[in-house]
Structure 1
């Protein structure tokens, strides 16, 4: 898989303009780490953090203990929707977030620029969902998991793109879709096919400049996290950006 390096917001936008329209999904990351969902990630020794039994138990325990805090728990139709809900509250699942907004992906990629002591390269991946699903489930359409009792665990040969109901404000604001992995799937980038996945690298020394440019356009944390803590985060970030600009000048 080839990758492109950018240093400015204008270069990122130029890349988007040249990107084939079939690459409708993207994901921003603050570092160049494997494209695996939280439940399947590995430690520094290369061992999986969670055994399969633990992953299943996480979801079962969440179901048992969350009912009293939910208005309509019976409205959740299948295990994948339970994963969508549980992941929002920090449960490791086999789902990886993507978005239909490439500008949101860029904000995710650079959002911790002022928190990182080292100037770490950020990454945005761009995904062609129809080609991925054609490869792994032999159909081009994105799989809609709403209104069905469940998704059979062995119907696909690798990660597939799914969509469901926007069950919380964050998923809706982020224009989110998801890639569903099976327990033994490899990282998504192992596909190594430019017609399915492309990679863009943002030079670490430029991530603060790009984040500043996004804020100047009104794209902020409260834009993707429609929650009160984001308001506070934006206030602090605006000050960090002002201090940064003052120091540069």
Structure 2
């Protein structure tokens, strides 16, 4: 994995232009591994890794048994990828990793609450899509073969937790948040290894993963650029919750020449 430590925000814009078609994920701490919320939760609270597979299966089973009470169309729970996407959307730990096709959306998620160096990971999804990168252990497991949207494929290739593979893509039907964020998912075949380790088992003549470190000193410049591009919580999370979350940035973004209202003014 190649790592680039940025000197300024303009370098980020130039670099990501070269990564056309790749997928991006922002993380607010540059030291964090590239791993799912499920992996982090299991590592912190379930010490016996031999139980991880059964714990994941039980969590999904519990969600399916109860979530229908809150859904207008409960049939979507029968689709494994859509069920996991729904769990992820509402805050449950899952094996899905949120990525986006926009490097700027990824940068926002990396920087919004960062208090030190943050990072954006760029994944060469075109190589994975076009079979230019294949698992050395079993090169027959192409993206089309393991597609978790196909019937029984999640059970066969992912829930078994034995295949060191990655799949990237979206459910057949996308919710409003996924659309607003230009979102996509990366689905690992094992939950006890970070994505970097899984990709080490892939054969490819191309770079598959690039880590871009965003130093703390460039955060304010970057956040102002993103604000101008209308990349805020209000635009990324449609609804009142997104608007309320976006107010935090309003507390820190101050433009030069801004008029400070006097006491009692409507502003």
Gaps of 5+ in 2: 259-267
Aligned to 1:228: 240
Q: 1:181 aligns with which of 181, 188, 195?
A: 188
Answer whether contact 2:188 2:195 (CA < 8 A) is retained. no
CA distance in 2, matches of 1:222, 1:62: 28
Q: CA RMSD in A?
A: 3.0
- Cα distance, 1:4 vs structure 2: 0.8
- Cα distance, 1:185 vs structure 2: 4.9
Q: 1:159 aligns with which of 133, 148, 166?
A: 166
Q: TM-score, normalised by structure 1?
A: 0.82
- Cα distance, 1:9 vs structure 2: 2.6
Aligned to 1:212: 224
SS, match of residue 185 in structure 2: strand
Bigger shift: residues 172-181 or 62-71: 172-181
CA distance in 2, matches of 1:62, 1:178: 20
- Aligned in 2, Cα 1:245/1:74: closer, same or farther, shift over 3 Å? farther
Q: Deviations over 1:20-74 (max 9, x none)?
A: x3x52111110121111111123399976x8322211111111111111000011
Answer whether contact 2:38 2:191 (CA < 8 A) is retained. no
CA distance in 2, matches of 1:138, 1:149: 15
CA distance in 2, matches of 1:243, 1:83: 41
Q: 1:30 aligns with which of 28, 31, 51?
A: 28
Q: Deviations over 1:46-105 (max 9, x none)?
A: 976x83222111111111111110000113442222111111111111111111111111
- Cα distance, 1:204 vs structure 2: 1.5
- Aligned in 2, Cα 1:2/1:146: closer, same or farther, shift over 3 Å? closer
Q: Deviations over 1:143-200 (max 9, x none)?
A: 6544645534337542222321344211111111111123455211123586111110
Q: Deviations over 1:194-246 (max 9, x none)?
A: 61111100002221321122113322111211121221222332122128998
SS, match of residue 93 in structure 2: coil
Answer whether contact 2:147 2:167 (CA < 8 A) is retained. no
- Aligned in 2, Cα 1:65/1:163: closer, same or farther, shift over 3 Å? same
Alignment of 1:75-114 (within 5 A): 75-113=76-114
SS, match of residue 172 in structure 2: coil
Answer whether contact 2:110 2:119 (CA < 8 A) is retained. yes
SS, match of residue 28 in structure 1: strand
CA distance in 2, matches of 1:53, 1:220: 38
Answer whether contact 2:29 2:119 (CA < 8 A) is retained. yes
CA distance in 2, matches of 1:223, 1:144: 30
Matched residue pairs, number? 238
Q: After TM superposition, what 4+ stretches of structure 1 lie above 4 angstroms from structure 2?
A: 44-48, 140-147, 243-246
Answer whether contact 1:6 1:201 (CA < 8 A) is retained. yes
Q: TM-score, normalised by structure 2?
A: 0.77
Q: Does 1:127 align with 2:123?
A: yes
Gaps of 5+ in 1: none
